[in-house]
Amino acid sequence: MCKLPNYQLLNYLPHQMPVRLKQFLILCLLFLAACGGRAEATPPPPTLSPQAQLGKQVFSRDCGACHSTTPDTIIVGPSLAGVATRAETRVDGLDAYTYLLTSVMQPDAYLVEGFDNLMPASLSKQLTGEELDNVIAYLQTLK
C-alpha cells in the first residue's frame, strides 16, 4: 500500500508508470513468445488436372450421394478415400485404371467386403464416355 498523501501520489505516478508499463509489456511479450511454437505447415491440397476437376464434378453429381471421399465415412457405399492406392493391388493383373473402370461399368464385379451391391448398373449408361474418363481420372487422385 502506498504511504504517500494523495497530492504526492499524483506527482509520483507519472514518473513510475512508464517504467512499470514497459516492464509489464516486456513480461507479456516474453510470455507470448514462450507460448508460441512453430506450427507445422500443412501441405497445400494437390491441384487437380482439368480432367480430374471435371471428374470431381461428375462424382459430386452422380456418386457423392452414396460415396464419401473422407476416410472412414460411410454414407451408403464404401468410402472412396484412398481408392486409387487400393485399386493398384486389389485384383491381381489389373492396373488401377482398369479396376476403377470395371467397378463403375460392372458394379457387381468387385464388391467390397461388408457392402451389398446397391450401385445402379445403369450408371455407366447414364455417363458419357468423356464423363466416365473424367470420373476415373478423379478417382485416381484419391490416394
CATH number assigned to the domain comprising residue 92: 1.10.760.10
pLDDT at 3 over 90: no
Sign of torsion over alpha carbons 131, 136, 137, 143: positive
The count of domains in the chain is 1
Mean pLDDT for 93-120 is: 94
**Is 124 domain-assigned?**
yes
Mean pLDDT for 90-105 is: 95
Query: Which one-letter amino acid corresponds to residue 14?
Result: P
pLDDT at position 32 = 72
Domain that holds residue 76: 50-139
Select the more confidently predicted residue: 33 or 87: 87
| Per-residue b or e along 26-37, where b marks 16 or more CB atoms closer than 10 Å to that residue's CB | eeeeeeeeeeee
**Is 123 domain-assigned?**
yes
pTM: 0.69
**Is 16 domain-assigned?**
no
pLDDT at position 114 = 94
SS3 category, 75: coil
Q: Rounded CA gap, 136 and 40, in Å?
A: 33
**Is 99 domain-assigned?**
yes
